Amino acid sequence: MLKLHPPQKTARAADRREFPRREVSLKAEAMRIGNSIEAHQQPSLELKVSDLSEGGLAATTHTPLEPGERVAMYFPSHMGQHVYDLYGRVIRCDNRGGSYHIALQFAALAA
């Protein structure tokens, strides 16, 4: 006798996340890390961060970035300190009509 199982539901992207996301509205400054022509021509970026987790963030910028591109970033403090304290890799960059929505995965730092 053949036993039928109900179809399994596929996991949604939100269900597969390792870390929970938090919606935020923050500005961040970033520097491209690399030797590409684009990184040398436009090394500085301003990011409008829309969500944040322990594993990465989503943000909007006016500069297109390539998947795999690396960036160093910081959140400006009220004291004006500019210390790069987060490093990440671009996972995707989608054109949203004049601005670009990026997903950035934080990089582990070597001890």
The residue type at 74: Y
In tens, the pLDDT along 84-111 reads 688 999 999 999 998 999 999 998 765 5
In tens, the pLDDT along 16-45 reads 557 788 899 989 999 999 888 888 899 999
CB of 105 within 8 A of CB of 73? no
Q: What are residue 12's phi and psi, to 5 degrees? A: -80, 160
Could you tell me which residue, 9 or 52, shows the higher pLDDT?
Answer: 52
Query: What is the pLDDT at residue 110?
Result: 56
1 in a structural domain: no
Distance CA 45, CA 60 (A): 10
53 in a structural domain: yes
In tens, the pLDDT along 2-13 reads 344 444 444 555
Query: What is the pLDDT at residue 84?
Result: 63
15 in a structural domain: no
Rg of the chain on CA atoms, in Å: 18
Grouping H, G, I as helix, E, B as strand and the rest as coil, residue 99 is: coil
Query: What is the pLDDT at residue 83?
Result: 60
73 in a structural domain: yes
CATH code of residue 95: 2.40.10.220
Total domains present in the chain: 1
Which residues, other chains included, contact 57 with Cβ-Cβ below 8 Å and sequence gap of 6+? Answer: 49, 51, 88, 103, 104, 106
CB of 60 within 8 A of CB of 111? no
79 in a structural domain: yes
Residue 89: domain span = 21-106
For residue 1, pLDDT beyond 50: no
13 in a structural domain: no
Q: Provide the residue count of the chain.
A: 111
Tell me the C-alpha to C-alpha distance, in Å, between residue 63 and each of 14, 66, 70, 73, 76: 26, 10, 14, 15, 19
Of 30-34, 63-67, 78-82, the one with minimum mean pLDDT is: 78-82
45 in a structural domain: yes
